[in-house]
Structure 1
Amino acid sequence: MDALTWLQASRDSDIASLQRLLETGELMAAVSELVHRLQRERGANNLWICSGGTLFSAERYARQQEVSAGLHHFYQALPPATAQPGFSRFCNLIAAALQALAGLPLLRQQISQHERDQAAAMAAFNQVIRTLLNLVFEAADTASDPDISRALIALFSFMQGKELAGQERAIGSAGFAAQHFTSEQRSQMVALIAAQEQSFTTFREFADSAACERWQPMSQASRDIERLRRIACTGSQYDETGALEWFSLLSERLDQMKTLEDALTATLMQRCREAIEQAQQQAASPVVQGDSNFALYICGADWLPGASTLNSDGLAPQLGRSVLSLIGEQSQRLQQQADELASMRASLDERRVIDQAKYWLMQQQGFTEEAAWQALRKSAMNQNKRVLEIAQAVLAVAKTLSN
């Protein structure tokens, strides 16, 4: 065994890791499509319940068929259920998602038999969608390539913002259909609007310029949506047509968001393929130990700077480069990747802490997710602190109480 053997093993490991990321990217595309179809089914069920079963009966059935097709694609995109190092958590999340999806037939039956009210039905759909979004979050958190990790974080943040917009549609539809918004519903609307902005801010931080430019014209809700938001949040007067108008406007906005979400998944796949191609080009240039000074004969050494041409003997200009130099460059590249990934994962860690604090408040105080977020946000504003600091304090209290 020599240094060159291990250097080649390092490159082969890079390729294997990138191949797994490509498979993950294909799964994320399937998740994106399935989530959108579930959001559409949730919306149809929401209007059906709120109208007492008089609206969207045909749409409910059509949306169920769409979800069935999305499920088939999702199942096909799942990775093999085989043991792999570092794969345990992702497997657990896949299992949780599959279990949640398996409960859809019963949920639909309960809705049809009026055994679930609007809030309970929407909470059930929200939970199913949350298990799928967890897969995107985990993929972003464990990606080994900075560019791909950045694309995954942008995708997750955008999908989360879109999901919050879908929840806003559901709550608004319920309030407009009842021609009355409760104080809890008004608080939920405010919290959801604020949470959307937070998600889209993170998206803009990690998305490329093309995605940000595409997002700009749709980032602000239309005047009609803002008008209805003011009505919902202030308790102004409106008639019974408000529910359908609200649902139509928000559905149109969600469909527009889906076009950008599709572009984000396409970007993710492109970056995966480009990274694999680059790594394969590097690995295809075999390095063979030469004389005692470790001179190298390099065939087609495109992966070395300035090695675009070979001389008449087929030797690369870098013939005299040492193994130590090559290993140093490889180490430097890996360290740079590690630094970039550490920075991106810090952002994900903040989100994880906030989510853990929200769920603890939901369990201990009986809050909805929106109410828990609003409580954290309000406390942060009152104390002039970041939401992260308040979340950390909440978890510290939770740890103390559990001891």
Structure 2
Amino acid sequence: MPTQVPSARAYLMASRQSEIASLQTLLQTGQLTGEISQLVHELQRERGVSNIWLCSQGKMFGDELPVRERQVARTLASMLASLPPLNGEQAAPPGHVRVYSRIAAALHALGALAPLRHNVRHFRLSHDEAMRQFSHIIRQLLNLAFEMIDTASDPQVSRALIAMFSFMQGKELAGQERATGSAGYAAGSFSAGQRERMLGLIEAQERCFTHFCHFADAKSLQRWRGLAEGESDIERLRRIACTRSAPEDDGAEMALRWYQRMTRRIDGLKQVEDELAQHLMQCCRESIRQAQHQQEAQEGDIDALMAQIDTGPAFSVYVAGQNWLKQEGQSLDTGGLTPGLGRSILGLVEAQSRQLEALDDELAAMRATLSDRKQIDRAKALLIRHHHYSEEQAWQALRKMAMDQNRRIVDIAEALLAVADVFPATPK
């Protein structure tokens, strides 16, 4: 009896089906990223309102607080509905272990919202502490969005995810700048620390938006550039905040003016972010359509080859060094390959392999960029945890060390992480 050889055609088709399944998972990832974007935006709005409430000692935006809370609750429910389902005791899908861990961290952080709101309402927190807690919750959501980029197996989708995350990160820094500026203007003066923080936030936004521009689609770029052209008043207010210890005008009035201008800017950034989310979903659907079309084309090519063979003259089948003759009227065990069919299928396999290799090369280049960012973020987290730095202070510390040693920031980050175990325990 001849050895039964698995069908090359079946495995070739299984490869396409696996690609389509992976892309459909990416579609769900894109939907979840969009939901995270919306939830982060609503939390930023609640943080902004809470900021003015605290800075004005409860004189402003008291009626707006419950409105923002309800909106966050609605968007949170929508995001929770988009989370990947839990399958009892089954492990997370391959490649999603870190994503599930980030989901757990984000949900844990969101659990702190209720006590945070209570403390804000009753002035039991300083402005700085309240903003720190809001920012921590938002950062956990951004970490989840960042982690999902690693699950992307399609370069076009990866580019869209990187562009969107970079923009989300820049927008969050703009929200922190709004909070810092509001506090300084409301107090009637900016401390040296606040001025330094403002400068750091402005610089960090530029880094994020530059990274976004490198990966963004043309339509989103056009909308972004149109938005950036109308910020002259914000630039003037920034100069006042960063160069003077005390504004010339009334503090409360200047705080409200700053808040309104920055809120308008952040709402404009959200429109660009929505454009990016739409582009991301379009990329996912287009990649799925292309993969399905390629699968159908391959199936048609192989079926046509099989039809030619079944109606042709007798031929030999070569499998594992043995030769069986197909006589007319006999059925062909298509687990074996004729030389002609073998060459045809081999051509399809090689074409698909070349396509996958090209995709892998493009993904490798993007993931190298992501790896650098992850190392830097981990090093910043280390400095924040052990030296109680803000995120901007941690970045500036890494930058200064890199400049002093004439090395890349990512090299400094890797060196810090390599000796992380010798850092003193964090005080409790």
| Corresponding residue number in structure 2 for 1:178 | 187
Shift of 1:149: 0.4
Q: Deviations over 1:113-150 (max 9, x none)?
A: 21111111111111111111112111112200000000
Q: Deviations over 1:316-355 (max 9, x none)?
A: xx99961111100111111111111110011111111111
The answer to whether the 8 A contact 1:50-1:178 is kept is yes
| Corresponding residue number in structure 2 for 1:125 | 134
Equivalent residue for 1:342, pick from 346, 353, 364: 364
The answer to whether the 8 A contact 1:21-1:272 is kept is yes
| Corresponding residue number in structure 1 for 2:398 | 376
Q: 1:210 to 1:391 in 2, by over 3 A?
A: same
| Corresponding residue number in structure 2 for 1:264 | 276
Structure 2 counterparts to residues 33-72 of structure 1, below 5 A: 33-72=38-77
| Corresponding residue number in structure 2 for 1:235 | 244
**Please, what TM-score do these two structures have when normalized by structure 2?**
0.84
Matched, 1:15 2:20: yes
Take 2:187 and 2:316, find their aligned partners in 1: how far apart are those partners?
Answer: 83
Q: CA RMSD in A?
A: 2.1
Q: 1:320 to 1:3 in 2, by over 3 A?
A: closer
Q: 1:220 to 1:128 in 2, by over 3 A?
A: farther
Higher relative contact order (CA 8 A, sep 6+): 2
Equivalent AA in structure 1 for residue 31 of structure 2: E
Take 1:116 and 1:38, find their aligned partners in 2: how far apart are those partners?
Answer: 18
Structure 2 counterparts to residues 34-113 of structure 1, below 5 A: 34-82=39-87, 83=91, 84-113=93-122
Q: 1:232 to 1:221 in 2, by over 3 A?
A: farther
The answer to whether the 8 A contact 1:293-1:322 is kept is no
Shift of 1:393: 3.1
**Please, what TM-score do these two structures have when normalized by structure 1?**
0.89
| Corresponding residue number in structure 2 for 1:5 | 10
Residue ranges of structure 1 left out of the alignment (5+ in a row)? 295-317
The answer to whether the 8 A contact 1:143-1:149 is kept is yes
The answer to whether the 8 A contact 1:38-1:129 is kept is yes
SS where residue 322 of structure 1 aligns?
Answer: helix
SS where residue 57 of structure 1 aligns?
Answer: coil
SS where residue 85 of structure 2 aligns?
Answer: coil
Equivalent residue for 2:373, pick from 351, 354, 360: 351
Q: Among the aligned pairs, what percent are the same residue?
A: 50
SS where residue 115 of structure 1 aligns?
Answer: coil
Equivalent AA in structure 1 for residue 240 of structure 2: I
Shift of 1:81: 1.6
Shift of 1:164: 0.4
SS where residue 144 of structure 1 aligns?
Answer: coil
Equivalent AA in structure 1 for residue 279 of structure 2: T
Equivalent residue for 2:286, pick from 274, 281, 294: 274
Take 1:247 and 1:372, find their aligned partners in 2: how far apart are those partners?
Answer: 26
Structure 2 counterparts to residues 190-229 of structure 1, below 5 A: 190-219=199-228, 222-229=231-238
SS where residue 14 of structure 1 aligns?
Answer: helix
Matched, 1:367 2:389: yes
Shift of 1:91: 0.9
Shift of 1:383: 4.3
Matched, 1:252 2:264: yes
Take 1:401 and 1:43, find their aligned partners in 2: how far apart are those partners?
Answer: 35
Range moving further from structure 2, 97-106 or 47-56: 97-106
SS where residue 81 of structure 1 aligns?
Answer: coil
Take 1:74 and 1:196, find their aligned partners in 2: how far apart are those partners?
Answer: 26
Q: Deviations over 1:265-292 (max 9, x none)?
A: 0000011111111112222342346346
Matched, 1:140 2:152: no
Residue ranges of structure 2 left out of the alignment (5+ in a row)? 1-5, 310-314, 318-339
Equivalent residue for 1:328, pick from 346, 350, 369: 350
Range moving further from structure 2, 30-39 or 373-382: 373-382
Q: Deviations over 1:123-182 (max 9, x none)?
A: 111111111111211111220000000000000000000000000101111111111212
The answer to whether the 8 A contact 2:189-2:245 is kept is no
Equivalent AA in structure 2 for residue 62 of structure 1: V
Higher-Rg structure is 2
Shift of 1:107: 0.9
Range moving further from structure 2, 320-329 or 254-263: 320-329
In the TM superposition, structure 1's runs of 4+ consecutive aligned residues that sit over 6 Å from their partners are: 318-321
Equivalent residue for 1:389, pick from 386, 411, 418: 411
Q: 1:8 to 1:293 in 2, by over 3 A?
A: farther
Q: Deviations over 1:175-203 (max 9, x none)?
A: 11111212211111111111101001110
Equivalent AA in structure 2 for residue 128 of structure 1: I
Take 1:101 and 1:202, find their aligned partners in 2: how far apart are those partners?
Answer: 28
Shift of 1:220: 5.5
The answer to whether the 8 A contact 1:27-1:78 is kept is yes
Shift of 1:396: 3.4
| Corresponding residue number in structure 2 for 1:161 | 170
